[in-house]
Structure 1
Amino acid sequence: MTHVLHLGHQPADLAGVTSTNISTDAEGFDPDLDVNCLKFVGNEDTSQPFSFGFDAPAGDLWFQFRMRTPDDDRVGFEYNYDPIVSFHNGEELIGRLVGDDGSGDTIYVEAHGDSTVEGSSSYTLGTALTVWVDIRVSVGSDITIEFYADGVLQSSATAANTGGKGKPTHITFNNPSQTWYSINVTWYIAHLAVLDGVSTINRRFARQTPNTLGSYDQWSGDIASLGDGDILTRMTSDAAGQRQNVTLTGPTGPTGAPISGVHLKAVAQAGTSGPGSLAGSLRIGTTDYDEASVSLNSDVPGKAIFSWDQNPDTSAAWTDADLPDEIGLLSAT
C-alpha cells in the first residue's frame, strides 16, 4: 500500500493546465528531479487556477511544491485575502494558504472548521525567490493547517471541527498573480507531491519516464504513449496477465541522497470488457516484483500509484546502484 496520493505537475496530472504551461526554463525546476516545470505569465489582474483530486488520507495530509517568484521588484499580491492554495472535501473548504496585500504581502494559513481561524505570519514573497513549500493539514475534532517555507514553520492555525468536516480529497491551486502591477511578470511552480501521514519536509521526488522497450511487449500500442503526457494516447491490454515493460530515462535525484522509496505512477482506465485492474511491477535482474493490483474506473482515467519502500530483491534500503532495470504494467482481473 502506498502513502503517495499524488505526484507530478504534468498536464495529465492536473486539471486546468495544458502543454502551453510546460516550460524548460532553468530557474523553474530542480534538474536533479525533473526536466520541466509549470510557467505562468500575468499581471495584477491574472489568476490561473488548476486543481487535482486524490483519495482521502488515513493520516495527516502533506502537500509540497517548489515555487520561483518573479524576477521583478514589484512582486506581491494585488488583493487582500488572496487564496494561493485551497483544500476541500467535496464542496467543503478545509483550509487555505493565503497571500494578503493588506498586511504587507504576507503569506499565512487559514483553518476552516466551525469558524475561520487565521494563523499569524511574517513571511513575504521575495524577488526571484526559489522556495520549497510544505503544508500539513490535520482533520479530526479540530482542523489544523501549517505552512512551512524551506522546512521552517511560518504559520499555523487550528479551528474546532464539531461539524465533522472530512479530510481533504481535492486541492485547488488558486495561483493568483504574484505582482500588484499592470506589467506582466513570470513565476514558476513545480514538483507537486501529496503524501498520506508522511512529512514532505526535505523529501524530494525525481521523475523518470519511459525510454525503450523492456523485457515484455504484450500490450497493444506504442510505448511512446506511456510517457507523452497525453491521456488520449494509450496502450491497451485485452487479457489478464499481460505485461508491458519499459526502461527509464531522466533525473535520478541528488547525488548521494538516501532513497526512501521507488514509486510507479500510471494514468489508467478499465475497458468495457477485459481486465479491470492494474498492477505495477519492477524488474531487477531477471525477476519481476509485482505490487498488489488496484481496480480501475471504466468511465474516466485515474491515477494508479504503486510503491516499494525497500529493494524487493534484497529487502534492504534502495541505493543508486540497485535501482530497477525496468518498470512494468501487469493487467489483472
Structure 2
Amino acid sequence: MAIEIPIEKWTGKIGEVVIGATPDEGGTRTKKILLGGENALPFLDFEGELPHPPVIGMEVLDVVREDYPQVALEPIQDVKDDPARWAKKCEEEFGADMICLKLISTNPEEEDRSAEEAANTVKEVLSAVGVPLFIYGSGNEEKDAKVLELCSGAAKGERCFLGLAEEAAYKSISVASMANGHGVVAFSNLDINLAKQMNILLTDFGIKKENIISDPLMAALGYGLEYSYSVIERVKLAALMGDAMLQTPILCETTRVYNARESFKEDPALGDPKKRVIFWEATTGTSALVAGADMLIMRHPEAMALVRKTVGQLTGGGS
C-alpha cells in the first residue's frame, strides 16, 4: 500500500530579487544572483517551488582591528590589509557567491576615514571581483549618509545593495540607492512587526519591493539562536500565508558568532577552538537557512564549506 505524503500548500510567494548587473545590463559583474521566488518552506521542494538555492557570501572589512579573533584572521592573514585582495580571495579561493564590504573605518569614533576614501575602496573591490557587492556603512547615522551617497555613486549601475536601513535611519540610504540603481537591506531587531514596518516605510518612500532584502537579525548559537530562529520562521510563514509586506527575501549574518567568546576561547574542556568556532558558525548558518533565510553572510571559509555541504545533502546534490 502506497503511503501518501501530506502536502501543505501556501497562497503566498516570496518576491524575486536580482543582485548584481552584468555588462549587458549596464554593470560589470560576471554573474548576477537571483534570490527568493519560493512558495514553500526551506528544502521542502515536494511542497512547492524553490527556484533558487541559498546564496552564501562573505564579509570583507576595510580595516582589521586588534580585537578581530585570531581564528578568523588566519585564513585571510595575507590579505587582511587590502580589501580588494581579500574580496578576490573570498571569490576565487573560498567560493563566495557575493561580497559584503563593511566600511567600518569610516566611523568618526574610530579611524574616521573619509567618504572619498570609502568610495575608492568600493571601486577597488569592484575591480577585483566579478561577484555582486553589498556595501555597509559603519553604523554611524550621520557619517553613513555621506559615505553611502558617495559609495553608491562609485558603484552606479552595478546593482549593489546598501545597508543597513533602520527605522530611525532609512531615508538617506533609500535616496542613495534609488539614485544609482541599487537595492536596500532593511534591518529589524528580532521583531516581526518591525520587519513588516520597515518594508512599509521603504515602499512608501519609493523603494520597489524587488529592491528590498530583509535582515531580521540572526543571533549566534548560545546567544539567542532559538529566539532568532522563531522570528525568522514566523516572518517566512506569514509571507507564505499571504502577507505581501513580508514577502521579501531574508538575509542572515553568521558573523555575530565571533561576539560569543565561548565559540573560540581557549579552554581544554571545550576542545580545539579552531574547530569549535567553525562548527559554531556553521551551526548558526544552517539554522538560519532552515528557519527561512535565503542568503547568508559568513566569515570563516571552512564554516561556509560545511554549510554548502549541508545544503547539498538537503537538496540531493551532495553527500
TM value normalised by structure 2: 0.28
Name the structure where helix makes up a greater proportion of residues. Answer: 2
The structure with more radius of gyration? 1
Name the structure where strand makes up a greater proportion of residues. Answer: 1
